[in-house]
Structure 1
Amino acid sequence: MSARICSGKLNIVIVADHATINGGQAKVALQSAIALKQAGFEPIVFASNGPADPQLTEAGVEVVCLGQHDSQSNPSVAAGAAQGIWNFTAAREMKKLLARLPRERTIVHVHGWAKSMSGSFAPAVRAAKVPALYTFHEYFLFCPNGGFYDYRRHHVCGLEPLSAACWTHNCDTRGYQGKIWRCLRHVAMDKAAGMPKLFSDFIVISDFQSAIVTPRLPPGARVHRISNPIDAEDFGRKPAPASGDFLFVGRLGPEKGVFYFAEAARKAGLTPVFAGDGPSAAEIRALYPEARLLGWKSPAEVRRLMRSARALVFPSLWYEGQPLTVLEAKATGLPIVVSDACAGRDEVADGETGFWFKSQDADDLARKLERLKDDALVTKMSNAAYDSFWADPPTMARHVARIGAVYEDMIARRG
């Protein structure tokens, strides 16, 4: 059943593929919906894939969940592929939702669409003449595979999206048929749905990301730099910063640069520690038997590992958007060694709170790890990282305040 909408408040229709937390994108979308409700807005989560997270109901957030599968979990490959290109149910239900909301007090905020929603909801938003905002968690609005990255050859892709070279280049982990499907989905999103021209405003989550997407935005678009919120607890400066291991946290996949970390650690005479799992785990074990693989850890366990580690290594090969792992490490006072070709570098002052290293260069990474054998340097960087984060922590409260200001500005401009 649909909740009655308060006409005096701003109604924020939050578009997401999933109504339950299954990753960073969904976490930001759903937890911000709860915080917006607490701040006096009327958020409505519009998602294709269920079930709905019970936290939303407990917080009084309305959820319109279509109860669908995403494109990869659908029992019918054909149905999943068709839905991913154009989700007719989403188009119909978005039209029904917007018909009952006051146009002058409603904003549509898109967090995700590429996994199951498709761009089919966009014509209903345009017809309703309500302002629309888009947060870049990835790059699906401009790149068919969402990453400007060749997942088969493991490097950043410089091809123009949907050019002849792009159509004929197989960059998809699932094979060339997967690439063709992604291109068809992209054409439907761009040409049939009319995205990204639907949006007047865009949120970028890092300066690195802004430099990539801003040249591709429609003329007159407004860009807002707002960090994703993170759930961090202030434990104070690390009591023993110069002890512990060199730590990697996250998915163990080649695009995350895990092999470069393992190789660099071997060159530096160190033991690499991996907290996470993924398709590269077995190969890491086979090639680097000295590595310690801990598997997935809970958020609380990850914080404990970070507090006891010497440095975080973030060697990602692809652009990223704003890796929360880097922010979480800073919050604990952990120096960070980060690839210079990913958005994580925005959070690291090179030589002060950690080091940048040349992407895909195990020798350069090894040199940076060698430098962090210096206890005094590690202590200095640890304190600087902690102070830098807590000077302006990206808490949920600050996130909502900043994003709420964007909402109010959009409504004022519309008026």
Structure 2
Amino acid sequence: MTTGTVSTDKPNIQDGIDRIVVINDLSSPMGGASALAVASARALSARGHAVTILAGDRVDVEAWAGSGVSCVGLGAGRLLARGFGSALRDGLWNRAAFTLVRDWIAQNDTPRTVYHLHGWSQILSPAVFAALTPVRERLVISAHDFFLACPNGAFADLHTGAPCPHRPLGPGCLIAACDRRGRAHKLWRIARAMIQRAVYRPGASPPVLAIHAAMKPYLRRVGIPDHAIHTLPNPVMPFSRTRIPAETNREFLFVGRLEETKGPDLALEAAARAGVPICIVGDGVLAPTLRERYPQARFTGRLAPDQIAEIAARARALIMPSRYPEPYGLVAMEAALSGLPVVLPHSALLADDLVASGAALAADPRDPAALGAMLRQLADDDSLVCRMSHAAFEKTAALAHSPEGWIDALVGHYTARLDRTGRAVQAAGDEPSRLLWPAGAKLRASAAVAAPNGRTPVDLARRSRSPMVR
């Protein structure tokens, strides 16, 4: 059953776009990719665009009230929250998701409606690519991770964190024991990747927006042409618009989901070995265990951005000890642009950039002794922290977009997809002075666009006509 509301139809006042359809597993900002999908929908609507979000979960109608965004949700849960049989079946091919997207297109599409696919691995499944086939020429895909190419989404051995050298679905990939849940789960991931490749057709891929340039060689491994991959760094709102005087602070900071992938346990163990105070912002399945194991640490739970900013203002450095390669690492940039030194793994794609700027130190997060020694060094050396803080605040702006510039770039890609000339991308997507954070830049406040309407959501009861699900 679907859930959702539909905004009042409003004239699209710019760029010749009838409507922008944002497609994502989740309609709430539960993680980096979902937060960006939601932020884009709201910001595009605030600019006067007609926007619809098609999501796999149940839409929180109150959260979207007044946004002007039409919301349609499948009402499903993420794979890990389901029973074994349902997750096994729908993870490979979600029939209901196929029907939702297919029927929305059949009932609402126009020649100048553009589609942007963000995340599909948790609910929507590879079926979403088949449903989008009729509008493929007007589709843009964001690569927030590596699931477009890699069966486990990380191009890494999920036991050790070591980078993967193999071609996706090649012989080395098929025999690699890289899945942390074991061989049976790896075989399921292989089956899903094969289905996805058949319906996605990477060799003829629509434009792929990679959040870091270093993602390109990984995406090319699956056959995505180089010309189809465009670098579009994430938008970043710093914790602070003035430099945080990190050298006068003492508490270290971790911000993220309390899950194995993000390494909160690694941050806590390193802090305990170093004898330094640490604040853990976030929630997740590891929260009860970590609270019991590290009673000396400060746990806040999940906080609103303004509350995180208050804590960051009293932090000495941010720790981002992810176990697996981070294609971007949004929290690292939020910290760096605020003047907080960053400690992050070598495998993070931002690591080389931040270390070269003098804003960060890179370490192996799986080596608690070495990571602890690094935290002790930062705790003892005010001069080092001061230099890193200034470097972070003054030299990292080119690594992120401002929110306004990011939306400019998205609209440029959408318009280029419609006119196929590329002029819009050159005008709105390739001007760093317009899009990246300039020193001292100020944001425009985004005005909310209201006016909900009551269009009936798509009926999921109708039988799917896809030949792959019969």
TM-score, length of structure 2 as denominator length: 0.77
Kindly state the Cα deviation for residue 375 of structure 1 after the two structures are TM-superposed.
1.1
Match of 2:211 among 205, 215, 232: 205
Could you tell me which residue of structure 1 aligns to residue 436 of structure 2?
none
Which amino acid letter does the alignment assign opposite residue 41 of structure 1? Answer: H
Deviates more, 1:41-50 or 1:167-176: 167-176
Distance 1:398 1:89 in 2: 36
Contact kept, 8 Å, 1:32 with 1:396, in 2: the verdict is no
Could you tell me which residue of structure 1 aligns to residue 371 of structure 2?
365
Corresponding residue SS for 2:229: strand
Which amino acid letter does the alignment assign opposite residue 67 of structure 2? Answer: A
Contact kept, 8 Å, 2:45 with 2:69, in 1: the verdict is yes
Distance 1:253 1:125 in 2: 32
* Change over 3 Å in CA distance of 1:314–1:240 after alignment to 2: closer
Could you tell me which residue of structure 1 aligns to residue 392 of structure 2?
385
TM-score, length of structure 1 as denominator length: 0.86
Kindly state the Cα deviation for residue 55 of structure 1 after the two structures are TM-superposed.
4.0
Could you tell me which residue of structure 1 aligns to residue 102 of structure 2?
95
Corresponding residue SS for 1:221: helix
Kindly state the Cα deviation for residue 94 of structure 1 after the two structures are TM-superposed.
2.3
Which amino acid letter does the alignment assign opposite residue 325 of structure 2? Answer: Y
Of structures 1 and 2, the one scoring higher in RCO (CA 8 A, sep 6+) is: 2
Distance 2:262 2:162 in 1: 11
* Change over 3 Å in CA distance of 1:210–1:361 after alignment to 2: farther
Identity between Structure 1 and Structure 2 (%): 27
CA distances 1:308-364 after superposition (whole Å, capped 9, x unpaired): 111112222311121111112123311112211112415514462122235644454
Kindly state the Cα deviation for residue 198 of structure 1 after the two structures are TM-superposed.
5.7
Distance 1:92 1:259 in 2: 41
- Map 1:343-362 to 2 at 5 A: 343-345=349-351, 348-350=354-356, 352-358=358-364, 360-362=366-368
For the pair 1:250 / 2:256, whether they are aligned, the reply is yes
Contact kept, 8 Å, 1:5 with 1:101, in 2: the verdict is no
Contact kept, 8 Å, 2:79 with 2:91, in 1: the verdict is yes
Distance 1:20 1:257 in 2: 23
CA distances 1:56-113 after superposition (whole Å, capped 9, x unpaired): 3421111222223332333x53233222211223323323322345553122211011
Distance 2:35 2:108 in 1: 25
Kindly state the Cα deviation for residue 194 of structure 1 after the two structures are TM-superposed.
2.8
Match of 2:236 among 215, 230, 239: 230
Which amino acid letter does the alignment assign opposite residue 301 of structure 2? Answer: W
CA distances 1:177-215 after superposition (whole Å, capped 9, x unpaired): 333322222221112x23435632111112333343244
* Change over 3 Å in CA distance of 1:276–1:231 after alignment to 2: same
Could you tell me which residue of structure 2 aligns to residue 150 of structure 1?
157
Distance 1:345 1:167 in 2: 29
Could you tell me which residue of structure 1 aligns to residue 440 of structure 2?
none
Distance 1:392 1:254 in 2: 27
Deviates more, 1:268-277 or 1:42-51: 268-277
Could you tell me which residue of structure 2 aligns to residue 330 of structure 1?
336
Could you tell me which residue of structure 2 aligns to residue 40 of structure 1?
48
Which amino acid letter does the alignment assign opposite residue 237 of structure 1? Answer: R
Could you tell me which residue of structure 1 aligns to residue 434 of structure 2?
none
RMSD: 3.2
Match of 1:296 among 290, 297, 301: 301
Contact kept, 8 Å, 2:24 with 2:55, in 1: the verdict is yes
Distance 2:146 2:308 in 1: 27
Corresponding residue SS for 1:355: strand
Kindly state the Cα deviation for residue 259 of structure 1 after the two structures are TM-superposed.
5.3
* Change over 3 Å in CA distance of 1:273–1:347 after alignment to 2: farther
Distance 1:391 1:398 in 2: 12
Could you tell me which residue of structure 2 aligns to residue 407 of structure 1?
414
Distance 2:238 2:354 in 1: 17
Kindly state the Cα deviation for residue 260 of structure 1 after the two structures are TM-superposed.
4.8
Could you tell me which residue of structure 2 aligns to residue 310 of structure 1?
316
Match of 1:17 among 15, 25, 30: 25
Contact kept, 8 Å, 2:25 with 2:121, in 1: the verdict is yes
Distance 1:265 1:390 in 2: 29
Distance 1:233 1:364 in 2: 28
Contact kept, 8 Å, 1:84 with 1:185, in 2: the verdict is yes
Query: When the two structures are aligned, how many residues end up with a matched partner?
Result: 412
Could you tell me which residue of structure 2 aligns to residue 138 of structure 1?
145
Could you tell me which residue of structure 1 aligns to residue 403 of structure 2?
396
Corresponding residue SS for 2:344: strand
Kindly state the Cα deviation for residue 28 of structure 1 after the two structures are TM-superposed.
0.7
* Change over 3 Å in CA distance of 1:318–1:220 after alignment to 2: closer
Contact kept, 8 Å, 2:168 with 2:221, in 1: the verdict is no
Kindly state the Cα deviation for residue 25 of structure 1 after the two structures are TM-superposed.
1.4
Match of 1:342 among 348, 368, 372: 348
Distance 1:84 1:319 in 2: 23
Distance 1:285 1:90 in 2: 38
Which amino acid letter does the alignment assign opposite residue 207 of structure 2? Answer: D
Contact kept, 8 Å, 2:33 with 2:144, in 1: the verdict is yes
* Change over 3 Å in CA distance of 1:145–1:220 after alignment to 2: closer
Which blocks of at least 5 consecutive residues in structure 2 are unaligned?
423-470
Contact kept, 8 Å, 2:250 with 2:277, in 1: the verdict is no
For the pair 1:188 / 2:212, whether they are aligned, the reply is no
Deviates more, 1:100-109 or 1:388-397: 388-397
CA distances 1:135-165 after superposition (whole Å, capped 9, x unpaired): 1111111122212233344544444433455
Contact kept, 8 Å, 1:242 with 1:376, in 2: the verdict is no
